[in-house]
A and B are shown apart, each in its own frame.
Chain A
Amino acid sequence: MQFNIKQKEFYAGLNIVKKAVASSNTLPILTGIYLKAVTGKGLQVKATDLELGIEYWIDVDIQREGAVVLPANQLINIIRELPNEQISFKVNQEKWQAELNCLSSQFKLSGYDPDEFPSLPEVDIPVTFKMPANKLLDTIKKVRVSTSSDETQPALTGALFEVKPEKIRMVSTNTYRLSFIELNYKTGIEDDIKAIIPGNTLQELSSLLNNDGEVEILINENYARFDFEGIIVISRLIEGKFPNYELVIPDEFNSDFVADLKRMQNSVKRASLIARLDSNIISLIVNEDKLEINSLENSSGYAHEEVEIELNGSEQNINIDAGYLLDVLKILSDEEIHVELIGPLNPLVIKSVAEASKFIYLIMPVRSQN
């Protein structure tokens, strides 16, 4: 195995797959990155922790074919520290040892037998469709925040991905808040599919996806595969039952108001400076023409903010977690925010509806009898 590669390109390629490198060393080979040189195709880099796998091809001229698995941390650290020059890369296929030369630097790094590296699972008999990368990225950003970190309810640590012939939905919830997004988009598939994609996979996808091009998505019973820009991401799906979210999204409300998103975000952020010293709960008092945001009574201090609004319906009063509200204010890009309220014990609903998509975000209140 032998090739020459630019430091910058090598480093970029390794960075793409490193997110899938296993962090614990129950299977030491999984803490490595798989490298395979194929004449006419280039260099394949690949990593997996068996839950998530990422594969990427770097375009380089191959002098001699071969494969090796090298420890990810050391390899990435070395490549990062080398100057942006040509690196000559050679592997002693007997000892699984790589030799790197770059200007006056020389490294030898021992690795593993590539035949022992698990191949990424085949997503066979899949349902396949394509969607624009920017739409998938936007969808993921909006649902990622609401996934749960509670491992005792695995289904909630991911997002439900529902694909219909003319609609795509993604939903996530930690049971205290919920993100729902629906795109009107012709997928061309025949039967509906439902899959729960791990939160970690969404995290990696959102950092790898950019706004250009298309993503090809393949889903079967156990895996989902995302192909874009030469990158392949394969993720195991979460088994389990996702709660019936349709039942908890209210279809009616008593009051609704519109406010300037940026102003609202700034006010909530400031009120949270005090609220978070306690439980980060804020009280929202919705008046005719203004929204008052107060920190709840606590010994550390007090914060009061006012935001101009236009209210329809009765005045309202609700206590919510400031963090849940800030999360959604941060991901919205509209100029205004639209909020619907039912009462102090019912979810607060934030809606952003456009022709092509509908985003609904629910926050369950905190009950307080003080």
Chain B
Amino acid sequence: MKQLNIVHVDMDAFFAAVEKLDNPALQDKPVIVGGVSIGQRGVVATASYEAREFGIHSAMPIAKAKILCPDGIYLPTRKDRYQQVSKQFFSILNSFTPLVEKISIDEAFLDLTGCHKLFGSSEEIAKKIKEKINMETGLTASVGLAPNKFLAKIASDLKKPAGLTIVRPEEVEEFLEKLPVGKLWGVGIKLEKKLKNLGIEEIGDIQQFSLQKLNDLFGRSGVKLFYLSRGIDNRKVNTENSIKSISHEETFSKDIFKKDEIYAVLMQLAEKVSYRLRSNDLAGNTVFVKVRYADFKTYTRRITLKKSVSRPEEVYQIGKRLLKINKLLKKPVRLLGIGVSKLAPLQKKQLNLFDKQKEKKQDQLVNVIDDLNNKYGFQSVQRARELLLNDDLSQ
């Protein structure tokens, strides 16, 4: 059996916890973070544990949450602030090992191979990670330590919040036995129902079936079930940049029709996309825009370029062109998005014969803006175009 080297770390009710951190008066209150600024149209991004007791969970429409918990504290998302804390979170993880796989803003896998001489046993390191996060950010995280990613992820989820669950190689089958099948990766509502119809409720029940039988019953997902139910998962912690595309979108409180307003939002979104591209040292060859109208019809249009782009001005201009040539702005827009894909490291860059000087200047400008944003928070410096944004449109 494999060694006990894989850690999964997950911040507890991340967005809500950050709000409580910044405003101690919210402590012990049901806090719901989500698209509040867009009236009744948003969904819950994170609910604090107090709010979860009312049955509120993420992705639930805010309107429904308000019925369940009318006295809850509803707050708009402050992505920039969460990003700040997330940066702190990841720099803590990186202080233990470079083998960190980012899954989302508040969740990661670590491979502890080679860390033991510096920081002690895997158990000790898992504990240290948890403590360091709490000390340095003032927030709690739940940690799972196991021989592989699949088990580590289940483990971290088991004793939330502020839990630490260890699954030693020799305990794997026992650990899985009593868990409901829904905990298995790839088991959604449909498959869960099928399994229940066969009398399979716990992972232990799956362990009774042979590989052949599971294959006959469920095909390829059956094979997956066989291995996962035995805690077998050979995926590596993937530190390589696995970002396929970077995009941002925004739903408006009122559908907007004025081109200037739409372009102002587009600029803001392009800046965010560009900022993330550059903080990951990436540039992309494909730019895409997404537009949703009042009838929820959604259109995505893309263009692939010879030259890769990363600067906000470039992303914006191409996005604007896409909107124009595809005539996407003939109707009021409910949602606008822009993104870049076909990413490659920024280092590989086709140089230009003519505007060497011009590009150098623009790069310098962009770097200065990045520095200011890093120091004072996103959009402490803005382009004039964004000043056109109405207050009720911006978050």
Contacts and interface: CB of A to CB of B under 8 A. Distances in A.
A248 B354 contact: yes
A174 to B, nearest CB: 8
Interface stretch (A84-92, A253-261, A362-370): A362-370
B353 A367 contact: no
Contact of A370 (B347, B352, B354, B355): B347
A221 B139 CA distance: 71
B344 interface: yes
Contacts of A176: 306-307, 350-353
A364 B349 contact: no
B348 A279 contact: yes
A152 interface: yes
A347 B307 CA distance: 17
B324 to A, nearest CB: 11
Nearest to A323: B306
Contacts of B307: 176
A74 B124 CA distance: 82
A148 B74 CA distance: 53
Contacts of B351: 176, 345, 364-367
Given A152-B321, A279-B344, A366 B352 contact: no
A365 B352 CA distance: 8
A175 interface: yes
Which of A173, A177, A243, A364 neighbours the largest number of chain B CB atoms within 10 Å of its CB? A364
A293 interface: no
Contacts of B348: 279, 281, 296, 319, 366-368, 370
Contacts of B352: 175-176, 364
Interface in B1-35: none
Majority DSSP secondary structure for residues of A touching B: loop
A362 B347 contact: no
A321 interface: yes
A362 B344 contact: no
A362 B321 contact: no
Contacts of A296: 348
Interface residues of A, number: 23
A178 interface: yes
A195 B20 CA distance: 67
A152 B306 CA distance: 14
B50 to A, nearest CB: 48
B355 A175 contact: yes
A365 B347 CA distance: 12
Contacts of A369: 347
Interface string A199-223: 0000000000000000000000000
A367 B321 contact: no
Nearest to A249: B353
A248 B352 CA distance: 10
Contacts of B347: 367-370
Nearest to A244: B354
Interface string A157-185: 00000000000000001011110000000
Given A152-B321, A279-B344, A243 B354 contact: yes
Nearest to B318: A152
Contacts of A177: 353
Nearest to A369: B347
Interface string A314-352: 000001010000000000000000000000010100000
Contacts of A368: 347-349
Contact of A367 (B317, B344, B349, B354): B349
Contacts of A364: 350-353
Contacts of B355: 175
A178 B352 CA distance: 11
Interface in B337-353: 344-345, 347-353
Interface in B306-330: 306-307, 317, 321
Nearest to A370: B347
Contacts of B306: 176
Interface string A3-40: 00000000000000000000000000000000000000
Contacts of A173: 353-354
Contacts of B350: 176, 321, 364, 366
Contacts of A248: 353-354
Interface in B347-371: 347-355
A175 B350 CA distance: 10
- Top 5 closest A-B pairs, CB basis? A369-B347, A364-B351, A248-B353, A367-B349, A175-B352
23 contacts: A175-B352, A175-B353, A175-B354, A175-B355, A176-B307, A176-B351, A243-B354, A279-B348, A296-B348, A319-B348, A321-B350, A347-B353, A362-B353, A364-B350, A364-B352, A365-B351, A366-B348, A366-B351, A368-B347, A369-B347, A370-B345, A370-B347, A370-B348
Given A178-B353, A248-B353, A345-B351, 9 more contacts: A152-B321, A175-B353, A176-B307, A176-B351, A176-B352, A319-B348, A364-B350, A364-B351, A367-B348
